[in-house]
Amino acid sequence: QIATNYELSAGVERYEYLKMLKGEDPWEDLQPIVLTEAGTIKKPIIVRGIDPERYVGCTGFPADSHEAVWLTVRPHGGVDRCPHCGNVFKVF
């Protein structure tokens, strides 16, 4: 018996395969986030992730208000704040 693509795939390849089966773009989560407002503690900027942590580049609000600051956002139940502009991020 020949193994299926699902049986042969693992890790990122399986994630990509499962997303494509659903008709979804597997790399949609890697697109830049268009901010319509600054992130606050009550209403943080939600970033999606499949790993235990997500790297987020903040350029401020409005966009490009400061140089990119790279933050490591972890799903620890709390939020992470940009040290330059105060934007608040939460991984989902």
Rounded to an integer, what distance in angstroms lies between the CA atom of residue 18 and that of residue 35?
Answer: 29
Q: How many domains does the chain have?
A: 2
Binding residue per annotation — 66?
Answer: yes
Binding residue per annotation — 58?
Answer: yes
pLDDT band at 49 (very low <50, low <70, confident <90, very high): confident
Rounded to an integer, what distance in angstroms lies between the CA atom of residue 60 and that of residue 85?
Answer: 6
- pLDDT beyond 80 at 30: no
Residues 5 and 48 in one domain: no
What the block records as the tokens of 5 is 């693509």
- The domain spanning residue 54 has which CATH number? 2.60.260.40
Task: Dump pLDDT digits (tens) for 69-86.
Answer: 999 988 777 789 999 999
Domain with 5, as residue range(s), is 1-27
pTM (two decimals): 0.69
Residue 65 pairs with which residues in a beta bridge?
none
Pairing verdict, β 88-91 and 45-47: parallel
